[in-house]
Amino acid sequence: MAEKMLMKGNEAMAEAAMRAGCKLFFGYPITPQTEVAAYMAKKMPKIGGLFMQAESEVAAINMVYGAAGAGARVMTSSSSPGISLKSEGISYIAGSDLPCVIVNIVRGGPGLGGIQPAQSDYFQATKGGGHGDYHLVVLAPASVQEMVSLTAEAFDIADTYRMPVMIMGDGMLGQMMEPVEFENLPKREVPEKTWATTGTQMKRKKNIVNSLYIEPDALEKMNNERLERYELVKKNEVKVETVNAENADVVIVAYGVMARVAKTVMQMMEEKGIKVGVVRPITLWPFPTEEIAKVAESAKAFLSVEMSQGQMVEDVRLAVNGKKPVYFYGRNGGVVPSPDEICAEIEKIVGGMK
């Protein structure tokens, strides 16, 4: 068996990125993602890579744009306010069909907010953030090991579909330590980057990395080609974990660390004779709509539990599509819903159904 290491989520993710062939990292300091940058700064020079602290998040994401356009595996990480600043660049990266990996270790907002764990950037991550019709693949790990495996996969997904991939965690995941191993990580064959601006060497026509199309027809054509790739992503890349959901009294839908709290709730409610299931979206975009629709056939009710004022719950409602009631419970600003609070919420729901 592979040797296990006890590592912080942020550091394990950085290590996984380097092992996935990422040799360029452009960042800007912000709590609580600092360990990612610090780890990269220490290790990148040892593998012939580069860690660069940019003058701003805005500059960092545009450095990512340049490097991704030149065909490199490249990454940046930040936390909520920094991702807002990066959103302009992310829109350009999406519009120019460039692959890269962006990490958001989410903190409470809006504004400067706080630094404790939150999930209040769900809308920003899954519905845009920047301007224009575009999507990121959004991966939501729930353990340190998953931060590693999803990071490895993120680069391959980005290269396969030529699109930016976001890994969305929170300070809790980033700061916590769990045993982790780096053997047997997922790996795919990815297409060659024939479109990259690496210099023509006078052997081919020039490549242009660009998102500007003044003619509406041309822009629509580019956007629609991208839409076709989004459809492929929806078909091929949905990841979800479903536990105990069939015929459940209440199915909790939760992602990241919240899903782990949900599993604790599941165990607690079992002792009280109430069957609780858990659906954990691992990809927030594409959202596991079909899986939730399927669960809605037999489950009696849904409860979206989030560290926000209620964001993912909208996608849950769309997926359930009126078949069963969908409830919401959340805390925000950096407060994590406790198992007791969630249990009380479930008892209310079950009580109301009787």
Q: How many CB atoms lie within 10 A of CB 298?
A: 13
The pair phi, psi for residue 303, each rounded to 5°, is -135, 115
- How many angstroms separate the CA atoms of 261 and 288, rounded? 20
Q: State the nearest-atom distance from the C-beta of 77 to another protein, in Å.
A: 16
Q: State the nearest-atom distance from the C-beta of 299 to another protein, in Å.
A: 20
- How many angstroms separate the CA atoms of 121 and 117, rounded? 11
Stretch that binds another protein, among 66-74, 161-169, 223-231, 308-316 (CB under 8 A): 66-74
31 counts as binding another protein under rule CB under 8 A: yes
Cα distances (Å, whole numbers) of residue 31 to 77, 107, 114, 116: 11, 8, 9, 9
For residue 328, list its beta bridge partners. Answer: 304
- Comparing CB distances to another protein, the nearer of 6 and 112 is 6
- Comparing CB distances to another protein, the nearer of 90 and 233 is 90
Q: State the nearest-atom distance from the C-beta of 94 to another protein, in Å.
A: 12
344 counts as binding another protein under rule CB under 8 A: no
Q: State the nearest-atom distance from the C-beta of 45 to another protein, in Å.
A: 13
- Comparing CB distances to another protein, the nearer of 171 and 281 is 171
38 counts as binding another protein under rule CB under 8 A: no
Which residues, at least 6 apart from 270, have a Cβ–Cβ distance to it below 8 Å?
A: 276
Q: State the nearest-atom distance from the C-beta of 298 to another protein, in Å.
A: 23
Stretch that binds another protein, among 26-34, 269-277, 284-292, 345-353 (CB under 8 A): 26-34
194 counts as binding another protein under rule CB under 8 A: no
Near another protein by CB under 8 A: residue from 89, 109, 281, 330: 89
- How many angstroms separate the CA atoms of 2 and 39, rounded? 22
> What x-and-dash track marks residues 272-311 binding another protein by CB under 8 A?
----------------------------------------
Near another protein by CB under 8 A: residue from 37, 172, 295, 313: 172
Q: What 3-state class would DSSP assign to 214? A: coil
Contact 33, 78 (CB under 8 A): yes
- Comparing CB distances to another protein, the nearer of 211 and 234 is 211
Which residues, at least 6 apart from 148, have a Cβ–Cβ distance to it below 8 Å?
A: 12, 13, 15, 16, 180, 181, 182, 185
85 counts as binding another protein under rule CB under 8 A: no
Reading the block at residue 327, the tokens are 């409830």
- How many angstroms separate the CA atoms of 16 and 146, rounded? 10
- Comparing CB distances to another protein, the nearer of 59 and 318 is 59
> What x-and-dash track marks residues 113-152 binding another protein by CB under 8 A?
--xx------------------------------------
- How many angstroms separate the CA atoms of 65 and 97, rounded? 10
Cα distances (Å, whole numbers) of residue 316 to 178, 234, 249, 296: 30, 16, 17, 10
Stretch that binds another protein, among 201-209, 292-300, 304-312, 316-324 (CB under 8 A): 201-209
| Closest CA relative to residue 134, chosen from 105, 157, 164, 104 | 164
Contact 299, 277 (CB under 8 A): yes
Binding site for another protein (CB under 8 A): 4, 6, 24, 26, 31-32, 50, 52, 54-56, 58-60, 62-72, 74, 88-89, 92, 96, 115-116, 171-172, 175-179, 197-203, 206-212, 257, 260-261, 263-264, 266-267, 336, 338-340
